[in-house]
Every structure is written in structure tokens, then in C-alpha cells.
Amino acid sequence: MISPLPLEELRSLLALRFTPGLGALRIRALIRHFGSAEAAFGAKLSSLREVEGLEAKSVAAIGKLEWLERADTELKRVTKVGACLIGYGAPDYPQALH
């Protein structure tokens, strides 16, 4: 098992992490606003602009295919070595990091 999260959620979470200007706090804000990383990554620009604290460059970069491609590459690496990713929202995600 690569992750306790659904594959598309994990893929979107990784894609958000690769998006310039987004770190853990902003990604968490996006997930809280949209309900999931997948919904945040696929959100329209007008909706993304409503999220407090996001810079214009990050808003413009969210949802680009390039970040999904990087996420896919990373998922292949994780699968190859037999690792497990525990992303924000997973049951095993450390409580102290919430």
C-alpha cells in the first residue's frame, strides 16, 4: 500500500507540494477551504483567490499539469522502493502536525 489516502488525493497533495509558493500551512488552508487536496488542485482561479494568504503567483500555478507529472514521478519512486506516504488527512498523520 502506497498510502492510506486515496490515490487521487495523494497525487493532488503531492502536486500542491510541488507548486511554487505553497508550503504546509498554505496547503492545509487550501484543504480546509475546499475539503480535499484534489478539490483544491482542481479549483477555479476565482475560487482560489478567496483563500486567505495565497499569493497571486501561487494561485496562478495551482492546477498546472507540470505539478501532477512531478507527483506521478514521485509516486513511481515511492512504489519502486516499497515506501508508504502518510499525507495530511491520513489516519496515521501525526496529530502534533495538525
Instruction: Give me the CATH number covering residue 23.
Output: 1.10.150
User: What is the reported pLDDT for 6?
Assistant: 87
Cα–Cα nearest to 12, from 63, 73, 61, 51: 63
Q: Does residue 47 register a pLDDT over 90? A: yes
Q: Is residue 84 part of a domain?
A: yes
Q: Does residue 11 register a pLDDT over 90? A: yes
Q: If you average pLDDT over residues 11-21, what whole number do you get?
A: 95
53-92 confidence digits (pLDDT tens): 899 999 999 999 999 999 999 999 998 998 888 877 778 8
Domain count, the chain: 1
User: What is the reported pLDDT for 1?
Assistant: 60
Q: Is residue 85 part of a domain?
A: yes
Give the dihedral sign, CA 25/31/33/39: positive
Q: Is residue 70 part of a domain?
A: yes
Q: Is residue 28 part of a domain?
A: yes
User: What is the reported pLDDT for 76?
Assistant: 94
Rounded Cα distance, 90 and 98, in Å? 11
Percent of the chain clearing pLDDT 70 (strictly above)? 98
Domain limits at 75?
7-89
Q: Does residue 18 register a pLDDT over 90? A: yes
Cα–Cα nearest to 19, from 65, 74, 67: 67
Q: Is residue 98 part of a domain?
A: no
Question: Which parts of 1-90 fold into alpha helices (H)?
Answer: 7-18, 24-34, 37-41, 45-48, 56-61, 65-81
Residue with the larger pLDDT of the pair 27 and 85:
27
Percent of the chain clearing pLDDT 90 (strictly above)? 72
